[in-house]
Amino acid sequence: MRIKSQNEPLVSVLVPSYNHEKYIIECISSILKQNYCNYELLIRDDASSDETPSLLKHFLSTYENIKSIRIIVEYGKENIGVISSLNYLIKRSSGEIIILCGSDDVFLPGRINRAVEMYNQYPNYGLVAMNGKVIDENGELKRDSFYTNKSKNNLFFFKDLTYKQIIEIGLGGFGMSFKKDLLKVINYQLPDSLLFEDGYLSFLAAIQNGIILEYNPFILYRRTTNSLSGYDLQLNSVKTVEKEIKFCKFFLSSEEAKLQFYLENKIQTKNRGKALHLLMQRIICLQIKIAFTENKPILQLWIKLLWHLIFVPKTKGSIKILLFSLNNSWLTELMVLDYRRRAKIFE
């Protein structure tokens, strides 16, 4: 049995689960097999309608050496969504470091150790993102690496970023770990309005402490045809448009939460005014894309854009961004028209 050293802080591994009966045991087993002694495992099942809860109960009741690890499991009676599930787990966690794990993903050996090594070696950074191998719903390898390696030593550091980089950065939640203190500025709870955590956590770390990306893969990241990340262009056009709308709404929730953070917190960053302006542009343009695809009125959105063009202080760069956003909105309309045209061909 390994003895805990002083350089092994308590790690909380959080697993929000929902309808992953095919994968939940492989996921939890990979976590319990990690060669790191000072961690706890917190799971919340979000009222799954399949056999996930019963499989999980049986597995945990029979797993050997389970008593050496603090495990908290909540079997939710109502579906509250991934963000509320994460907030519940964060509130119950005791670790200095938090590691996220999807209930259909798999930890490779050394995943926890490597994260802790990074925080010990670079204590001023607040978030460490790990690379992963991409697998499909059957466990078949699709890509050796989710990220393209841009560093000779397999590490990339995001530090002292521009206001535009801070807003636009977004790393995969499947490989995220972060110091719990990263959430202190938001009272240790993610905004309820979020639909996913990836972009917002990346933003929080970029604006405060910085981010490290480890290019060596330590996770098997599963992309299924039922998930948003498994975006499948072979679907018929109607379903593809539905996924486009869902994707835009995910990003809209993240951009709105970033804007709210800027407005409510006094963290000083370079070009704060430009950052707010850019966020507003991105929000309006996402709203336009959603309105186009849902055939909703867009007059008020164009008025908002016109207001920004006339009254908001501008630079040459901000005008270019605005024109690019407008162009993207028109391209979205053309894209939707093309989807509908092809949908008629398929019918």
Per residue in 311-335, pLDDT (tens digit) is 665 554 455 555 555 555 544 555 5
Kindly list the structural domains of the chain, giving each domain's residue range(s) and its CATH number in brackets, ordered by start: 11-229 (3.90.550.10), 232-346 (no CATH)
Contact 44, 85 (CB under 8 A): yes
Which tokens go with 53? 């809860």
Q: Strands, DSSP E only, in 55-210? A: 70-75, 97-100, 106-107, 127-135, 141-143, 155-158, 176-179
Q: What is the CA radius of gyration of the chain?
A: 21
Contact 43, 73 (CB under 8 A): yes
Q: Is 270 exposed, middle or buried (0-12, 13-18, 19+ CB in 10 A)?
A: exposed
Which of 13, 209, 186, 212 minimizes the C-alpha distance to 126?
209
Which tokens go with 193? 């309005």
Q: Kind of pairing, strands 39-45 and 141-143?
A: unpaired
pLDDT computed for residue 234 by the predictor: 43
Question: What distance in Å separates the CA atoms of residue 94 and residue 128, rounded to the nearest whole number?
Answer: 19
Residue 210 CB contacts under 8 Å (≥ 6 apart), including other chains: 124, 125, 126, 127, 157, 158, 159, 160
pLDDT per residue over 140-193, tens digit each? 999 999 998 777 789 999 998 888 888 888 899 999 999 999 999 999 999 999
pLDDT per residue over 227-261, tens digit each? 544 444 444 455 666 666 777 888 899 999 999 99
Q: Note the pTM of the prediction, 2 decimals.
A: 0.83
